[in-house]
Amino acid sequence: MRSILLKIEDDTCLEARLQAALDLARGFGGHVTCLQTIALDIVMPGDLNGIYVSEIVPVLRRKAAELRALIEPRLAAEDVAWDWVVDEGAALGCLLRRSALSDVVVLGSLEPFGGAASDLAADVVLHSRTPVLLVPPGTTGFACDGPVVVAWNGSPEASRALKSALPLLARAGSVVLASVLGKEGAGNQGLPAIEGAAYLSRHGIECEMTEFPREGRSVAQVLADAATLRHASCLVMGAYGHARLIETIWGGVTKELFARPPLPILACH
């Protein structure tokens, strides 16, 4: 994970994902590309409360420049390689274009003005071949060598997520393949956890296979509790879906976890 794409946006989660991206770069000897998007697509032609488009666009660009002036000196003082890219257009399109040559995309769980970022993150996961690291607000860093819980249900999506996370799993202090029991949980179809463990072993990675009962909880809550129990630094999960209704094999898990991630989540479609 040496090519790290970081979304720069002036929101309450900026500091959290900035620190996570810097820790990833330090841990893997990587490079952080700071992608700042100016969403001109939200500006409609004509008069908007007395402010014309010709007046709004310069304001957006000025705000972007002010944010850049605040962040760049901090980056210059860090011991990581980085560059800064400004794209004008819809955030999703810009992220997808830049993610093509990235190893991981770092996004936050909150968008500007307090809106949920689950739709944007889910769309990036769905349409990009690059895994997304979703960082919740309040995160103070990312432990590249911390314990990792992998949500496992034997699906192709879970398998791809496992493969995409190999660099992280190789550094992890411990790895748990977590299956959720029950008709809506993992382990009911597809490859058994032992196959995932065998794949990891071929890469020199040892793991523990554990089945967690639902006990009246949602699958998302079971996975969150499992990650908390293991003091995990990251939850790895696979996802599938369409349009803005992305779902995991377990059904609704992505939506629930992305809305309020209890810890950083590495997701892959």
Q: Are the folds of 3-135 and 148-268 the same?
A: yes
SS3 labels along 117-168:
CHHHHHHHHHHCCCCEEEECCCCCCCCCCCCEEEECCCCHHHHHHHHHCHHH
| Per-residue model confidence (pLDDT) at position 49 | 54
Using DSSP's 3-state secondary structure scheme, residue 76 falls into helix
Distance CA(115)–CA(110), nearest Å, equals 6
Look at residue 245 and tell me whether its pLDDT is greater than 60. no
| Per-residue model confidence (pLDDT) at position 118 | 53
Domain range list for the chain? 3-135, 148-268
Give the rounded percent of residues in the chain with a pLDDT score beyond 90.
Answer: 69
Q: Which fold has domain 3-135?
A: Rossmann fold (3.40.50)
- Is beta strand 175-180 parallel, antiparallel or unpaired with respect to 208-212? parallel
Look at residue 187 and tell me whether its pLDDT is greater than 60. no
The residue with greater pLDDT, 200 or 129, is: 200
Q: Which fold has domain 148-268?
A: Rossmann fold (3.40.50)
Neighbours of 34 (CB within 10 A): 21
Mean pLDDT value across residues 105-125: 72
Mean pLDDT value across residues 94-112: 89
Mean pLDDT value across residues 237-266: 69
The least confident of 146-160, 181-195, 215-229 is 181-195
pLDDT digits (tens, 9 = 90+) for 67-100: 999 999 999 999 999 999 999 999 999 999 999 9
pLDDT digits (tens, 9 = 90+) for 18-68: 999 999 999 999 999 999 999 875 555 555 554 556 678 888 899 999 999
Look at residue 7 and tell me whether its pLDDT is greater than 50. yes
